[in-house]
Amino acid sequence: QNATYTYAPSSKPTEEGVEPTKEVYSGAWKNNQKNGIGRQNYVGLGDYYGNWVAGEKEGEGVMIYVNQDIYSGQWKKGKKDG
């Protein structure tokens, strides 16, 4: 089942009148966890697109960091593996 989930805004202070940035996951879910292909943005870190298993990055995926560095490869239990 595919769905989009928007996480609560970060608790970091923002300028007056500026809405806090939210993290969003869009993709496949199973048993109320990220599972399958999906995209997750991380405030202040970057964007991940790839495979998820039981809520963690697992298998093939790409992380594009805010400084534009790119990691494309294998992930295991949410960590780079390669």
Instruction: Report pLDDT digits (tens) over 23-78.
Output: 899 999 999 999 999 999 998 899 999 999 999 999 999 999 999 999 999 999 99
pLDDT for position 20 = 61
Higher pLDDT among residues 22 and 25, named by residue: 25
Mind giving me the DSSP string for 11-73? SS---TT-PPP--EEEEEEETTEEEEEEEEEETTTEEEEEEEETTEEEEEEEEEETTS-EEEE
